[in-house]
Each structure stands twice: as structure tokens, then as C-alpha cells.
Amino acid sequence: MTALSVPAPPRKAPVLPEGLTLGAAALVLVVLPFALQGLGLTLTSATDVVIFAIATLGLNILVGQTGLVSFGHGAFFGIGAYAAAILQRNLFPGGMVLPALAALALVAGLAVLLGLLILRRRGVYFSLLTLALSALSFTIAFRWTALTGGENGYGGVQRESLLGLDVGDSWVWYAVVAVVGFAVLVALARFRRSPVGTVLEAIRENEQRARFLGYPTNRYKLTAFAVSATVTGLAGVLMAFSHRFASAEPLGTAFSGELLAMVVIGGMRSLAGPAIGALFFILFRELLSIWTGDWLFWFGLLFVGFILFSPDGLVGIARRVMRMIRPEPTEDAAMAGRRAGTPENLPAFLRPEGAVRPQEAVRPGEAVRPGEAVGGTILAADGISKRFGGLKAVQDVSLAVRDRTLHALIGPNGAGKTTAFNLISGMFKPDTGSVTLRGGSVAGFAPEKICAAGLGRSFQITNLFPALTVEDNIRIAVQGRHPGRFDVWRDARRDPAVRAETAEILRWLGLAGLERAEAGSLSYGGQRLLDMGVALATKPRVLLLDEPLAGLAAAERTRIGDIIKRVSTEVPVLMVEHDIDRVFQIADAVTVMNEGQVLVDGTVEDARTSPKVQEVYIGSGTAAMAAKPRPSAAEAEVLLALEGVDTFYGKSHILNGVTFDVHTHEIVALLGRNGAGKSTCLKTITGIAPHAAGYIRLGRDSLDGLSAAATARAGIGYVPQGRGLFAGMSVAENLELGRLRRRTGNGVHWDEERILSYFPRLRERWRTAADYLSGGEQQMVAVARALSGDTRVLLLDEPFEGLAPAVVESLFETFDALRKEVSIVIVDHNLDLALALSDRTVALERGRVMHVGPSRDLRDDLDLRRKVLWL
Amino acid sequence: MLFLTLAVEQIVNGLFLGAIYLLIALGLSLIFSLGGIVNLAHGAFYAIGAYLTIVVSPYLGFGGSLVVAPVLVGLLGLLAEKFLFRRFYRSDPILSLLLTFGLAMVAEQAIRMIFGAPPLPYSIPQALRGQIFLGDFVLSRYRLTILAAVVVAVAAVWFLLQRTTFGRIVRAGVQNPDMVAALGISLKPYMAAVVMLSVGLAALAGVMLAPISGVHPAMGAEVLTGAFVVVVIGGLGSFWGVVVAALIVGIVRGLMVLVYPGFAEAAIYALMAFILLVRPRGLFGERILRFE
């Protein structure tokens, strides 16, 4: 859980003066042999530096650029060396070019095959597999003596003449290696800037999003793996010629680790960083080994030091020093000068061709082209259903999005709208039913296919490429539908068509002037806007937006809402959104879902006036339990007080100056629509989502800055939504964990007997594993566990969710009885129940307290309830 | 019959090695599930355990070092947890991977500095030498004894995790650390204890293997890849997955020694590749999103 981050001004992405890097590299290559000899080292050391630099540059394509840490690149180095040596001796005696080329082809082919296997896993697993690759190749090379010479290595490699040059001479050979090294650097510089190279960075930042922009990321990763292995293999080939010898040693994990250490120490986020690391490694090894045989020990310590204090390596340190000397300008001015006028029409190139004709436009008797949808419907879900385990998340949902309209999907928490949205957008495959776009099925498509079919989607939680610039975020999306996207050579940022479209979209979004800012450093509103821009830049036929307004301030809501409305007049939009005020203002059609099914499907007026919809949102005021008056037990003394509490998730400002209090033995209902901040408010009180500003007091103690564990020990019991029981543990064991550290004297003491007097049913279930209980029993365990120990305040998040009416009633009575023991804060979407149970209501809206008052008024007066909690 | 006799002998040898892998893999899996750290330095703790045997056993004997070495290494683990691991629990797992790799490098070199590069001999204690004859089968007394000891150690770990309050807190922490905190339990001391326990198990494996294969600086790196194969086959974070995988790897390796000794090592990697093709998350592995 990340919280506490206060928005900072946008940060400019570090820009690499690439020409400067290449010039400096050329200079270093010329000076290197003389400099090393000046330090008392040999020409061989200079050659080794260049060879290791090539190997690390190759490795860094995976590590720094694609974000895949390989512990096995020594294998490709070693295989390259063996292949060149063995081929030269057996097939091309005395030759150099042919054995080298054949060896590279072999390494490349092998890398493709191994990549197909290893790239099945990502992250940590990928690293473990490469580790195993290196161990495996080492044992094979070591044991297959007939081929590799085993322990003794494979000698007899010749280095005499290469294209008429006398490479037997060390100086000439150094010159050849230096030229090859420089060529590799230039080529990799181009590769980095090419469409493929920039997509690799996008994969590092956010692979899922790259797929939803239409990139088949597996192909890109395989390309990266093969290129990376081949470049490292080239270094191995050069090494074999250089030392006229190949051995199993580089295949072992130790050498792979050293290569990785060079990359990290040099700096994995820059072009030439790994080469600097290679130079550093050789200098360190050669100079320190004059003094001590234990240079590797000190090298290891240094490596650990870099991981701890400068994961960006030497280049990162240099950048920090530079920033101290000459601070980089932040983009404050551009942010302030951002144009925020009324939205314009979409750029022409994003307008879809061939709008779907409304039914009226089809002349009688006219044959409809196969595949052409008529009647205005462009995207249709027909009877889709999805189960998760035993839970029917979505049942038989149908909806139809007409061209050039804004279609909203709304409903209370747990209504299944996000699942329905994910079924339509291809995230999940529906169990039954069909999803069709312009008459063609798209159900169960892979993300990249969905995008190609014409569905562009944004995400509930901002889902960008955070370390890339704003411009690159849009450019990657634009590039995905241009023919050059598999190009490895051309400069991706100089493609005139892609560039023009990117600039036009940025201008249209109002992000012009912020092109060079890192996407992750934009304000939350800026990120949401960019997120939508990225989805639009894929030129979708239908745009799918998942809660585009969540977490935004009022002014930004209006602005982004207006932009969405404008977009929908050209590109139809389907959006899931909690903010029903905005939805009712801007939507053309509304589908309301409840409990996995469609409740109302029609116009805004249909939804607004539907009694069924109102009942879902604000209750009917007629529940049986509500009828019986519940005497309050509240006392005058304030037990829990929040004052001006602010909470952030990342950059998203969730709670804004929340102030309310809870009296001893009082029940307070915390109400408000989805996304209002109710759950976050409970998590803030527990310390799980710590507040960045404001004060929380419990009795005489302050809870500010306390850890979640310390807060719980102060006497706060928490029942999360979904109950959070520990699977595989019995009821007794779950309760034991609740009691273990909370016998503190802070509040009422809840021992086994006392708990069982409130939840007698648990006595029979005492030894049953919690995951085998019914939903109602599980909820009882969750409440009992929260009480276990010494508890003063009980926080309940959606305690009635998903329970049968009889169970709800019994829980309700239990809570009613509990008010004599503890204070309770309850969040529930069933307003009739929450209002009937509680003494007072605190209504939240967009993270602010909008209303505090007696619950009875809201319970009895539906008009007042509508006013406070509806529109 | 001769073949069968040899096969049983090699299977016992393989199971012995599988048992050593198991002790290491269990610790790896525990640290990984609770802290999200893949500890590449785990082999180093194993090697330190083996070296401590050489230091300690002249005074306390083999039996003494079986107790003392794991305890001392556990304390070392406590320091590593407090000053290094703790900073990486919630960061990118790739960073902790690099960190522990560096630590492994430092530890191996430190061993070289202190004890020298050549392997140090260590022989099987007198009481455990010799063979046990079971009909036609000839089995090493030492290996059988150690196998039994490992079974006891693994059973003890199982008991600790499944049947004690400590274990319940650890398992609850793996499932839902926020909820554990919301019950007033701080996971920090438990994390430290889990690291101590895990590296202690690795040290125990080191003591047990010392008499078999000698003690040398690179032994940590060697055993680690084998243990990772076990973890990858079994599925990270799964107790029974790791146990089953260790048995499979041990048996396959033992049989390969019989059939094609040069490639016994390679065979277990081939086995891993095959299992990954069929079951990408390992035999019992669950999907943990942040490590993918």
C-alpha cells in the first residue's frame, strides 16, 4: 500500500546527448590503450575492456531496456567462444570471418529456442531460469570433453590474418576490436531509438498496457533476447580469437554475475553505462590484484554498496552530481501555462471511417453487406456470464453501444460492472454469451488482438509507462498501428507520420508543453488525461473507459467529462463510472447493473426516474428490520475523533479534510456512493492507509503516525470487505490470532466465552477451517476475530455483502446488541440497514464529509435521503 | 539383480542429495513467501555452515557442530535481515535478487580469504562409517542416518508452521499481511525469525554434506542452482511442492548417475525445462503477481 506521497511538480526525463556519448566513446577507444599502459597494464587489458564492454552492452538490452534480469548471459558468451574456436579448427582452418559469422548464427538460433522456453516466465522466475541455463551449460561444457576439451579448455585457435590485416599483431587486433566495439555501440544506439527499442522500454514499464496497445509483446521480448544473446556471443567470439583459447569458465554463473555487476555498477539506464562498468571492472581487477589476491571480495562489497545506495550505477551518481551543480528546470511553467479551454473536435485522423448506419438509413430492400452492423449498434454484448469459483459475478448481461454515443455502465459496489467491462474488453473470456464489434466476435481475444480489432481501453488505476516521457507514452500508442512498428533500425521519434499524429494528440489533450516530462511525475489529473489519450491514440472504433473520473478534483471532473462527451460524438464510448451526477449529465444511454444482472437499460431519464435504481442506491425505506426502533446507547463522551484527515494513494487524493467523531457506544454509519472514500476512511483509521495530514484520536491517545499493528493494539477492531479470514485455519485459530497481541486493557475484554455469547453458532464450528464455513458464518468469524482481545471500536466494511436475508437479520441483531459493548463505524451499501442500525450518519462525497446528522431523519424521510445521498 | 542393487544404492544417494536440496529449498521458499525476497545468498549460509563444522568439531565433535553451526549461522542471518533484507521487502524483487547475489559473492570470497581456495577434507565421523546390509542391498550408514535426520528436521518445520501459533502467524502473514497488522501483530520479529530459521536449515544441510563431498568455497553456488531447480519445479511458496520436487530431483539424479553419470547434473535441468513446459508455475505453485 503506498500512500503519503504529496504531489510534486513534474520532473523532466533525463535526456541523453547521444552524439556526445558516441564522440566520447570514440575518444576513449583511442586513448584507452595508452592510458592503461600508463597505469602499468598491458594492451591485452585494453582489448579485454572493449570485449567485456560489448558483452555488457548486449546484456543491458535485456536488463536495462526490457527489465529482464538475466543471470545466464555468460552462457552465450561462452558458447560464442567455443563455437568460433571449434568451427575454425574443424571447418575453416585459419579463417576468422566465416567461423565468427557461423558462431553468431548458432548463438542467435540457440537464443531463439531457449528464449521460447525461458520467456514463458517473467520477473523473478525469468532470472531463476537463466541461472539454471548458465549452470546447465557449464556442466555440459565441462563434461563433454570430446567436444570442448573439458577442464583443459579448447586451444589452438589461430589469429593471423583478417581481410588482409595482420591481426597477429596486438595493436592491429586492438584496432579491429575497437572498431567492432564502436560499431556495436552505434548500432545499439540506433536500436534503442528504433520502434522495437522503444517498445522494449514500454514493456519494461508496463507489459500489460503495451499488449492493450496492440503489441504482441512476446515477439518483442524474443527479439530482445536474441539480439542481446547474439551481441554477448559476439564478445565471446572476439575473446576466443583474442586469447586463442576457449574454456568453460565463462559459462558458469560466476561470470554471468560479473557481467551483471558491470552493468549495474556502470548504470543500466543509460546507453554507455554498461561499457563504463566494464572499464571499471577491469581497472578494479587489474589494479587491485597488484595489492591483494582478494580483489573479488572488495568488488562484491562495492557491488552490494551500489545496489544499496545507487542502483543507477556510476552514471546515476554522475547525474546526481550534475543536478547539484546545475539543477534541471522543472516543468512548473509549462504546467501552469497548460491550455485548459473547451475541448475541440477530435483530430481528423482519429475519426473512424464508415460510421454505422442507423436502421432508418437502410433503404427498404437494400442488401446489407456481410459483416456490416446496422441499427446503429457497433459494440454488443449478448447474454454474457462469468463465474469465479462459486460466485456468479455476471449473469446473462446484454447491452448494445450505438455509434457516436456515450454509454455508461453504473451500479453499486459488487454489481459486477467491472467484471462485465473486463469481459467486453477482452481481459477475461466470458463463460457464455458473445461480444461482437461491428458484427464480428471479439470474445476471449488476446489483448493485442482486441486492440487491433478496434477496442481501445483505459484502466481504473492509472496504467501508463511511468518512466517514459509524456510524448513517448502517446507515441508508443500511435506507433502500434503504423507499419514500422517492428523496425529495429529507423529512429522511431523521427517517423514523420507518427510524429505529426503524436503532436496533434498532445495538443488536443492540452498536454503540449509537457512533452518531455516523465509521465509518472504528472499530477493525478494529468495522468488520467494522458491515460485516456493513450487509449484514444490507438484509433479505436470504440473507446472503453474504466472509471475515468475516479479520484479527480471537481474542476478536473468537469473538464475530463466534457472531453469524454466530445469524443463520444465521433468515437462511441462505453464507460464504467461511479460519479452518477456526471454520468446523468453527459451520458446518452445508461445500463444499470445490480447483483450481476442488468437492472435498467435505457436513457438517462429511464435510469434517473426508475424506482428500482433509486432503491438500489438509497434503499426503499421499507425493510422490516428498519421498522423496529433501536434505542441508542450513545454517551456524551467522544471516543474516536478525526480532524482534517487527508489520505493519498500514490498521487490520488482520496480523503480530503475528513472530520467527524464517534461517541462511546455509538453506532455511526459512514455512507456515500462508490468511490466516495468510505473504505479508505476505515483503512486510514486502522493505519493500513496512513493519513498524510490531520489528526486521529482514540480516547486520550493519538493514533497519528502509529503502525497498523500499534493502532489495533490501541483497541481498534477491523472487519475488512471480503472478511480477510485466514484460509486453512480453524475458527479457533483465526480468533486466537485476533487475541494474541491485544490483551492490552484498551477497551472491553473479549474472551472466548464472551464472544460465544454473541456468536453461539461458532461453538459448533470451533474446529472447522474458516474457508469451509458459509458466508454468514465467515462474517461472524471476521467480526469475532476483530473483537478478540481488548477492543473499544469496531470498524465494519460491508458486513452484509453477499449474505442471505435471514443471515443479514441475525447479524443485524448481533450488531444491535454489540452497541452496549463497543462503538461501531459501519460502511454498507444497503442504506436501509445501515440507517436503521446507526445513531448518526456521516455522508462522504468525493473524499469530503458532506453531511452529518441523526440517522433517524434519513431513515424516515426519503426526500431528505434523496437530497443527501442521491443527486 | 546387480542392476537393481546398484539402482537402489544410487537412489539412496540421490535421495540424500535431494534431502540436502530440500533443506535449502524450504528456507528459500519461506523467505520468498513472507518477504518476497529470492535469496541468492542462501547457498553462502550453507557453505558457512560447512566451514563452521571444520572449526567447531575439533572441540565439540560432529554432533556438536550439528547444533552449533546452524545456531551461529542463524545469528548471522539475523544481522543480514536487520540491516539488509528489511529494506527490500516492499521494493522491486529484482533489486533484492541483485543484492543477495552480491552478498553471495562477498561471502564466497570471504571464505576464500579466511580458509583458502583448496577444498578442506572432512571425514565421516567414526560412529557413522560403514555400511548397512539389507539382504542384497548395501547402503551407507552415514547417508541413511542423515536421511533420517532430514526427515525429522522437515517434520519439525512442518509442525512449527502448521501446529504452533508462530506458524499460524507466519502463514497468515503470507496470505494477508495487512490483516495480520490489523489484529495488532507486527510481522517484523516474525520475518527475522523466519530468516534465522531458513538460513539455519541451510547451515544444517552444510554440516551434513561436509563429510561427503569435502568443504570448498564454491559449494554454496553449486548447491544453490540445484535448490532453485527444486523450488522452480515444486512452485515457489508451496511446502509440499518443494518436498515432492526434492524427492523427484533426487531420484532422477540418482538413476541418471547409473545410466549416464556425466550428465546426471544436466538431467535435472532438462527435467525442470520439461515441467515448465507442461506446468509453467511448477507442480504446486500459485500465481503471485508481483514476482512475474
Residue pLDDT, tens place only, B233-244:
888 777 888 999
Mean per-residue pLDDT, B76-86: 93
In angstroms, rounded to a whole number, what is the distance separating the alpha carbons of residues A356 and A374? 6
pLDDT of residue A623: 61
Window 28-67 of A: residues touching B by CB (8 A cutoff) are 67
- Bridge partners (DSSP) of residue A695 are A643
ipTM for this prediction: 0.89
B272 and A135 in contact by Cβ < 8 A?
no
For the CA atoms of B209, B214, B220, B226, what is the dihedral angle to 10 degrees? Answer: -60
Residue in B103, B109, B179, B265 to test binding to A, most A beta-carbons within 10 Å: B179
Task: Give the closest-approach CA distance of A133 to chain B in angstroms.
Answer: 8
pLDDT of residue A337: 45
Q: By mean pLDDT, which of A322-326, A603-607, A824-828 is the weakest?
A: A322-326
pLDDT of residue A15: 52
pLDDT of residue A624: 64
Nearest CA in chain B to A312: B95
pLDDT band at B76 (very low <50, low <70, confident <90, very high): very high
pLDDT of residue B158: 93
Residue in B98, B186, B271 to test binding to A, most A beta-carbons within 10 Å: B98
pLDDT of residue A674: 73
- Is A303 an 8 Å CB contact of chain B? yes
Residues of B in contact with A253 (CB under 8 A): 221, 225
pLDDT band at B67 (very low <50, low <70, confident <90, very high): very high
Residues of A in contact with B217 (CB under 8 A): none
Mean per-residue pLDDT, B173-200: 93
B136-173 pLDDT, tens digit per residue, is 777 788 888 888 999 999 999 999 998 999 999 999 99
Q: Which has the higher per-residue pLDDT, A166 or A618? A: A166
pLDDT band at A167 (very low <50, low <70, confident <90, very high): confident
Q: In what order do the strands lie in the sheet with A823-827?
A: A716-719, A793-797, A823-827, A667-671, A840-845, A848-854
A737 and B110 in contact by Cβ < 8 A?
no
pTM of the full structure? 0.87
Mean per-residue pLDDT, B5-11: 82
- Is A135 an 8 Å CB contact of chain B? yes
pLDDT of residue B290: 46
- Bridge partners (DSSP) of residue B120 are B215
B98 and A67 in contact by Cβ < 8 A?
no
In angstroms, rounded to a whole number, what is the distance separating the alpha carbons of residues A154 and A823? 79
Task: Give the closest-approach CA distance of B64 to chain A in angstroms.
Answer: 30
- Is A712 an 8 Å CB contact of chain B? yes
Mean per-residue pLDDT, A159-185: 91
Task: Give the closest-approach CA distance of A657 to chain B in angstroms.
Answer: 24
- Is A732 an 8 Å CB contact of chain B? no
Contacts of A62 (CB under 8 A, 6+ apart): A68, A69, A70, A73, A224, A225, A228
Nearest CA in chain A to B228: A128
Task: Give the closest-approach CA distance of B225 to chain A in angstroms.
Answer: 6
For B266-279, give one letter per residue: b (16+ CB within 10 A) or e: bbbbebbbebbeee
- Is A20 an 8 Å CB contact of chain B? no
Residues of B in contact with A71 (CB under 8 A): 101
pLDDT of residue A194: 94
pLDDT of residue A487: 86
pLDDT of residue A867: 82
Contact B98, A69 (CB under 8 A): yes
Contact B61, B268 (CB under 8 A): no
A474-518 pLDDT, tens digit per residue, is 999 999 988 888 888 888 888 899 999 999 999 988 888 888 888
**pLDDT over threshold 50, residue B112:** yes
Residue in A110, A726, A781 to test binding to B, most B beta-carbons within 10 Å: A726
A377-389 pLDDT, tens digit per residue, is 899 999 999 887 6
pLDDT of residue A861: 84
What percent of chain A is predicted at pLDDT more than 90?
Answer: 49
pLDDT band at A415 (very low <50, low <70, confident <90, very high): confident
**pLDDT over threshold 90, residue B276:** no
Mean per-residue pLDDT, A863-870: 80
Residue in A122, A253, A736 to test binding to B, most B beta-carbons within 10 Å: A253
Task: Please state, in angstroms and as integers, the Cα–Cα distance from residue A371 to each residue in A321, A360, A374, following that order.
Answer: 62, 18, 10
A728 and B277 in contact by Cβ < 8 A?
no
**pLDDT over threshold 70, residue B206:** yes
Nearest CA in chain A to B95: A307
Q: By mean pLDDT, which of A110-124, A333-347, A547-561, A655-669 is the weakest?
A: A333-347
Task: Give the closest-approach CA distance of A301 to chain B in angstroms.
Answer: 6
Contact B230, B22 (CB under 8 A): yes
For the CA atoms of B201, B203, B204, B207, what is the dihedral angle to 10 degrees? Answer: 170
**pLDDT over threshold 50, residue B100:** yes
A686-704 pLDDT, tens digit per residue, is 999 999 999 999 999 999 9
Nearest by CB to residue B228, choosing from A69, A131, A744, is A131
A777-787 pLDDT, tens digit per residue, is 899 999 999 99
Q: DSSP letters along A169-189, please?
A: SHHHHHHHHHHHHHHHHHHHH
Task: Give the closest-approach CA distance of A511 to chain B in angstroms.
Answer: 30
The DSSP secondary-structure symbol of A40 reads: T
A261 and B102 in contact by Cβ < 8 A?
yes
- Is A210 an 8 Å CB contact of chain B? no
Q: Which has the higher per-residue pLDDT, A150 or B25? A: B25
A253 and B176 in contact by Cβ < 8 A?
no
Q: By mean pLDDT, which of A752-761, A796-805, B162-171, B179-188 is the weakest?
A: A796-805
**pLDDT over threshold 50, residue A374:** no
Nearest CA in chain B to A743: B184
A297 and B176 in contact by Cβ < 8 A?
no
